[in-house]
Every structure is written in C-alpha cells, then in structure tokens.
C-alpha cells in the first residue's frame, strides 16, 4: 500500500513539474497587465503605443512609458481588421509600430505536447506503475511460466560427499546415480535400466538438501534445483508451465540432474482440497507425472526429490517408473553425530582435550542441522565469554539453548512462583530418578526457557529405536509429577502444568490407539491418520471404530493416567525429604547438574 502511494506521488510530482514548466515558458517572466482589446484600440487612438507585438492570438503591448500590457484577439482574424472593426482609423494603424511574429515553433511544440502527448504520457506512466505494482505482488507476473530453477554451476564453495557424515546408504545410492550420469554406457551395456527418480525421505535437518548439492558437486553435469513451494503460485497453470519449462531445460542439457526440494508442497495427495491453490497443486503434480512418464528410455535425466512428509505424498508419485527409488535418511546415531561434529568443527578453534565424542553422547535426537547450530551457538557463547577457544562448557550450555530455546533471564518469577516452580521441577526430577526405566536426569533448572518456567532435562543413556510399554508408562508418571507436587505441597495447582498434562494425555492416547499397548482392547490400531488439507487445516483422524469402542478407549486412557498418577504420588510421599532437598537446592542455585543431583541420593 505504501508503494502505491509513493508511485502516486511520483506521478503527481511529474505532472506538477510539467505544468509549472509550461506556464513559466508562456509567461516569460513578464509582469504584464491584462487589458481588453477595446482598451488597445483606445490607446492607439490616444497615441500611447510604442509597439504592438502580435503572436498568433496573443498581443503584447509596449506603451510609450515602457509599461507592458497584454491582450488577446481571435486567432482567425488579422490584427488590422480587428482594430478597424473597433473604430481605429487606417491612419492611426499605419502610424502604430506593429510587429507580427510567427507563432514561435517552440510554443507550437509546447502546445502540441501539452494537448496531445502529455495525456498519453500520463496514462502511460500510470499503467506502467500499475504493472509494476502487480508484478511486485505476484512475484513477477510478467514472466509467469518460466522456472526460477537455478542451474548450479560448480563455482564458489563446492559441496562434495566428503562434507557429509553418516547417512551411508543414501550416499551409496546417490553415488550410483552420479556414476550413472558420468558413464551411462557401462550400465546400459549390462542391460541395467536407468532409475528415473530418487526420492530422499527423512526428518528435517538430516541433510537431504545437502546431499543433493553434493550430488551436483560430484557429478559434473548440469544440476537444476527448484523448491516445491516455488511452483505454487497465485495463478492456476503457472506451476504446470514451470514444470514443463524445467523439464525441457533439463532434457536439453542431458545428462542432467533435476532436484525438486520439498516436493510435498506440490505432491500432496490429490482430491482433498477446495479452492484455487489446490487445483493449482494438482495441475502441477499432474504435469510432473506426465513429464516423468514422458522420458524416453535413453533420456539421461535423473530427478531427485526431497521431502520430510512421505506420508502425505500422492501415491502416484511412488509408482514404478517415477520415484521408484526411495532413500531413507535417518537421524544420526552417536558415531554419525561425532563425525558430523568433526566436519562442522573444522573451522572452529576448539580447546585442547575437548572430546567431540562426549558431545555426541550428550546430543541424542539431534539432527545434522541441530549439531551445526549447536557448534555455532557455542562459538558465539565463547566470544561472549571472551575466550580464545571453544570449551566444553560452552558447547554444553548451548545444548539446552538448541533444545529448548534461549534462556529468558528477563522473565523474572516472584518469590512464590519461584518456589512453586522449584517444587514442580523437583517433582519431575525425583520421579524420573526413582523409576527404573526412565532416562537419567541430566539437569534440573528453574531458569525459564522458551515456553517453560523451568525444565528437567533427561537424556537417554544410549540411542534407541524402540521404546517399551513400561518406559512409556513411567514417562507418564514423570509428566504428571509436577502437577501432583504442586497439589501436595501447596494445596493448589497453577497453570504452569497444563503443557505437562497435554503431553501426558497425548502419550496415553497414542499408547492405546497406535501402539496396541492397552490392557483390555484387541491388538489393533484405532483411527486412520489421513492427511488432508481442508480449508487450510489438517484434519487428522478418520474414525474406524464404533462409539462403543471410543468409550473403551477413553476408559483405557483414563486408567493409564490414573495409575501413573497414583504411582507418582506414592513416590513423592515416600521421598518427601529428597523432594525438599532438591527444591531447596534449586531455589538456592537455580540449576542442578547431573553429578550434584545424583549426590543428593547417596
């Protein structure tokens, strides 16, 4: 809106400039009195005139006393007949010094300009600005159907497979792709068919985009890169024509790699939407499918695509002949984490004796991107602390920042709130400590971070893929412990525990409906998790069970929660002295590290 106003003012300004220019030109800076033509006739009769200058219809009069006047006559009639008609005798006219000037050519052009060209110019300018406006709003509406696919030339810092740690299988798979593009004959002679599409799947930050870039770096073939969201535009049909353009470019440059990042933006299950943008998505997706089917067997173009939502992809994308190869990228395990840390620590000065292995141990569940972020935060912290090198403590302090968001030092609790928070967190920590299967407590703190007023940081002893029912149930007790302690200790509860309750409820529900861990229900899942976009919102569950079963599910969820609650209550009552100790220590120093925490239980 601001831009419209600005442009409007520019146009107005230009018009004003022109108008003042023209008027300046016409007036010539003289201060002449305007008189009637009759007055001129009178003056001639009275012999007052020195000179009369006629220029078209304009008459400039110079009187004998050097005064200036001006008047007008009809353009079509000559000055002489005009004067004669007004009763000036031919004698007098002859005596008067009358100069007839051609209408100056400048003036004529000015007239033509003002009456003819100027309006067009103004309209033209107006349209031009309007266009620019439209362009700005729709991101270059004028070059609609062209892709913004960037061909990545190998300039600047090149990413190669060496820059990627872990994700071994994915690397191998893509190495094959590179190999294939470099020397396809080797494979075709063997009768092997070229893969058309490779789909990279994995949670955010595990290195999908990085891997694709590395393929470009390794392959030495043209590499076209576009993000799925770039297809989705305001105008229906733009996406499809972009796809056509992109595939056309790639084919022309074959052998080539075409990388569609975040394909879930266009590749969602079709037929689940309302409104324009969804039709647009469908058309775009259809076009991708058509293009991929249209590859002849000898077309040396391989399509890479990446997504972190394989569950929402349209099944048509996964049919043979399209993205028939799927590569899973997992979160890194401890060895991979160490290797990733090593890669990102290359340009950072680390203190002597700092063991990246130890950092890797402390960061289960971190993705590659998290680890990169961790080291970056640590470096920033080290600078803040005026150190020459990054020390272990800097990295460990950054772990929480990456996990929970920055500490909110300004978020000051009053005395009562502080006490409640201390007991609340002490409750979580105590119950976690006393139950055998939960993850060990690494840190308890009442420094608020992100949303939470305080936090209890538990980290698993080792990476694990599965979780057991027993562990989940203990987890429920830990989640409820904060709430329970508040009730026991203060006889009242605060709003601070609502997030715990939500988490606990969700976990209990998943145990029953997804993991088959309910006690009195048959081994099955309840509810189909169907991804649909409806009016911009995901609708999650499709019920595939009866009203009666729904009741049973609720009962199961309730009983899980009630049991967990009882268990936590018992632990808290039996260990009241420990609880008080933890809370007191928390109030005193705000954070308790693992060693100190464990000492309280000796």
Contact residues: Zn ion, CB under 5 A = 482, 500
Give me 234's structure tokens: 């305001």
Pattern 439-478, ligand ADP, x by CB under 6 A: ----------------------------------------
Residue 348 CA from chain centroid, whole number? 29
Q: What angle do CA 404, 406, 407 make, to 5 degrees?
A: 100
CB of 211 to ligand ADP, least distance (A): 7
For residues 267 and 482, which CB has a smaller minimum distance to Zn ion in the complex?
482
Rounded to 5 degrees, what are φ and ψ at 253?
-100, 15
- Chosen residue from 210, 221, 446, 508 binding ligand ADP by CB under 6 A: 210
Say which entry of Mg ion, Zn ion, ligand ADP, none residue 399 contacts (CB below 5 to 8 A, set by partner kind).
none
- Chosen residue from 60, 83, 166, 265 binding ligand ADP by CB under 6 A: 166
CA distances from 214 to 19, 174, 249 (A): 62, 9, 21
Calculate the CA dihedral of residues 204, 205, 208, 214 and round it to 10 degrees.
170
CB of 150 to Mg ion, least distance (A): 15
Q: What angle do CA 214, 216, 220 make, to 5 degrees?
A: 125
Say which entry of Mg ion, Zn ion, ligand ADP, none residue 166 contacts (CB below 5 to 8 A, set by partner kind).
ligand ADP
Span near ligand ADP by CB under 6 A; candidates 101-109, 191-199, 202-210, 442-450: 202-210
Give the Cα separation of 278 and 261 in Å (integer). 19
Identify the sign of the CA torsion 147, 152, 155, 158. positive
Number of residues located near ligand ADP, criterion CB under 6 A: 18
Residue 152 binds ligand ADP, judged by CB under 6 A = no
528 included as an active-site residue? no
- Chosen residue from 35, 236, 318, 343 binding ligand ADP by CB under 6 A: 343
Say which entry of Mg ion, Zn ion, ligand ADP, none residue 340 contacts (CB below 5 to 8 A, set by partner kind).
ligand ADP
Q: Print the SS3 string covering 248-302.
A: HHHHHCCCEEEEEECHHHCCECCCCCCCHHHHHHHHHHHHHHHHHHCCCCCCCEE
Q: Are 239 and 139 in contact (CB under 8 A)?
A: no
DSSP category for residue 144: T
Span near ligand ADP by CB under 6 A; candidates 127-135, 142-150, 203-211, 221-229: 203-211
The DSSP secondary structure of 480-521, one letter per residue, reads HHHHHHHHHHHSS--GGGHHHHHHHHHHHHHHHHTS---SSS
Binding positions for ligand ADP, 368-407, rule CB under 6 A: 368-369, 372
Residue 328 binds ligand ADP, judged by CB under 6 A = no
Give me 395's structure tokens: 């990295």
Pattern 250-289, ligand ADP, x by CB under 6 A: ----------------------------------------
Rg of the chain over Cα atoms, rounded to whole angstroms, equals 41
For residues 269 and 344, which CB has a smaller minimum distance to ligand ADP in the complex?
344
Residue 307 binds Mg ion, judged by CB under 5 A = no
CB of 399 to Zn ion, least distance (A): 19
Residue 205 binds ligand ADP, judged by CB under 6 A = yes
Residue 71 binds Mg ion, judged by CB under 5 A = no
Span near ligand ADP by CB under 6 A; candidates 20-28, 90-98, 143-151, 205-213: 205-213
CB of 267 to ligand ADP, least distance (A): 16
- Using a 10 angstrom Cβ sphere, with 0-12 exposed, 13-18 middle and 19 or more buried, the burial of residue 523 is exposed
For residues 207 and 273, which CB has a smaller minimum distance to ligand ADP in the complex?
207
Reference 63, options 43, 38, 41; nearest CA is 43
End-to-end CA distance of the chain, in Å?
A: 68
Number of alpha helices (DSSP H) and beta strands (DSSP E) in the chain: 22, 16
Residue 227 binds ligand ADP, judged by CB under 6 A = no
Residue 164 binds ligand ADP, judged by CB under 6 A = yes
CB of 142 to Mg ion, least distance (A): 29
Say which entry of Zn ion, ligand ADP, Mg ion, none residue 500 contacts (CB below 5 to 8 A, set by partner kind).
Zn ion
Give the Cα separation of 484 and 440 in Å (integer). 21
Say which entry of Zn ion, Mg ion, ligand ADP, none residue 204 contacts (CB below 5 to 8 A, set by partner kind).
ligand ADP
Residue 228 binds ligand ADP, judged by CB under 6 A = no
For residues 140 and 150, which CB has a smaller minimum distance to Mg ion in the complex?
150
CA distances from 568 to 342, 475, 491, 572 (A): 42, 10, 16, 6
Which is catalytic among the residues 218, 291, 425, 474? 425
For residues 209 and 363, which CB has a smaller minimum distance to Mg ion in the complex?
209
The DSSP secondary structure of 156-180, one letter per residue, reads SSPP-GGG--S-HHHHHHHHHHHHH
For residues 303 and 390, which CB has a smaller minimum distance to Mg ion in the complex?
303
Reference 468, options 427, 505, 501, 511; nearest CA is 511
Give the Cα separation of 279 and 204 in Å (integer). 27
CB of 213 to Zn ion, least distance (A): 41
Span near Mg ion by CB under 5 A; candidates 16-24, 203-211, 233-241, 311-319: 203-211
- Using a 10 angstrom Cβ sphere, with 0-12 exposed, 13-18 middle and 19 or more buried, the burial of residue 490 is middle
Which residues here bind Mg ion, judged by CB under 5 A? 209
Which residues here bind ligand ADP, judged by CB under 6 A? 164-167, 202, 204-210, 306, 340, 343, 368-369, 372
Q: Which residues are catalytic?
A: 425
């Amino acid at each position: 809106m601001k831009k419209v106003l600005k442009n409007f003012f520019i146009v107005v300004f230009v018009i004003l400039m022109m108008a003042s220019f023209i008027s300046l030109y016409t007036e010539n800076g003289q201060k002449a009195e305007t008189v009637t033509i009759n007055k001129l006739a009178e003056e001639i009769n009275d012999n007052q005139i020195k000179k009369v200058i006629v220029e078209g219809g304009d008459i400039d009069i110079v009187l004998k006393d050097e005064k200036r006047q001006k008047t007008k006559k009809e353009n079509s009639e000559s000055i002489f007949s005009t004067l004669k008609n007004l009763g000036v005798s031919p004698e007098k006219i002859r005596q008067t010094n009358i100069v007839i000037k051609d209408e100056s050519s400048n003036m004529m052009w000015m007239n033509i300009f003002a009456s003819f060209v100027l309006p067009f110019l103004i309209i033209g300018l107006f349209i031009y600005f309007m266009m620019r406006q439209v362009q700005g709003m729709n991101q270059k509406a004028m070059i609609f159907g062209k892709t913004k696919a960037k061909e990545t030339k190998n300039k600047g810092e090149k990413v190669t497979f060496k820059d990627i740690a872990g994700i071994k299988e994915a690397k191998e798979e893509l190495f094959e792709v590179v190999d294939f593009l470099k020397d396809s004959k080797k494979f075709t002679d063997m009768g092997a068919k070229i893969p058309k599409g490779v789909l990279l799947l994995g949670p955010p930050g595990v290195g999908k985009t990085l891997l694709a870039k590395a393929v470009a770096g390794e392959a030495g073939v043209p590499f076209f890169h576009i993000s799925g969201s770039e297809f989705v535009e305001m105008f229906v049909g733009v996406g499809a024509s972009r796809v056509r353009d992109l595939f056309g470019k790639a084919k022309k440059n074959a052998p080539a790699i075409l990388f569609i990042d975040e394909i879930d933006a266009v590749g969602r299950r079709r037929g689940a939407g309302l409104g324009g943008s969804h039709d647009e998505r469908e058309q775009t997706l259809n076009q991708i499918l058509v293009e991929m089917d249209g590859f002849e067997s000898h077309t040396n173009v391989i399509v890479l695509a990446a997504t972190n939502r394989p569950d929402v992809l349209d099944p048509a994308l996964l049919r043979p002949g399209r993205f028939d190869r799927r590569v899973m990228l997992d979160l890194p395990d401890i060895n991979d984490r160490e290797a990733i840390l090593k890669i990102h620590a290359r340009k950072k000065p680390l203190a002597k004796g700092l063991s990246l292995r130890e950092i890797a141990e402390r960061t289960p569940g971190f993705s590659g991107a998290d680890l990169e972020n961790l080291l970056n935060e640590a470096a920033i912290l080290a600078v803040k602390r005026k150190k020459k090198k990054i020390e272990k403590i800097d990295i460990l302090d950054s772990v929480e920042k990456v996990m929970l968001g920055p500490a909110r030092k300004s978020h000051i609790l009053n005395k009562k709130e502080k006490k409640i928070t201390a007991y609340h967190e002490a409750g979580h920590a105590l119950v976690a400590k006393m139950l055998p299967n939960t993850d060990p407590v690494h840190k308890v703190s009442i420094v608020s971070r992100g949303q939470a007023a305080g936090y209890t940081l538990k980290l698993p002893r080792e990476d694990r893929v599965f979780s057991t029912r027993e562990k989940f149930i203990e987890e429920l007790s830990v989640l409820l412990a904060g709430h329970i302690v508040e009730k026991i200790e203060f006889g009242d509860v605060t709003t601070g525990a609502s997030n715990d309750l939500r988490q606990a409820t969700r976990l209990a529900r998943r145990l029953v409906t997804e993991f088959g861990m309910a006690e009195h229900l048959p081994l099955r899942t309840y509810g189909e998790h169907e991804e649909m976009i409806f009016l911009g919102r995901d609708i999650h569950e499709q019920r595939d069970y009866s009203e009666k079963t729904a009741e049973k599910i609720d009962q199961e969820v309730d009983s899980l929660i009630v049991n967990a609650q009882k268990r936590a209550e018992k632990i808290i009552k039996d260990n009241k002295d420990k609880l008080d100790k933890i809370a007191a220590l928390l109030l005193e120093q705000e954070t308790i590290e693992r060693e100190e925490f464990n000492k309280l239980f000796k």
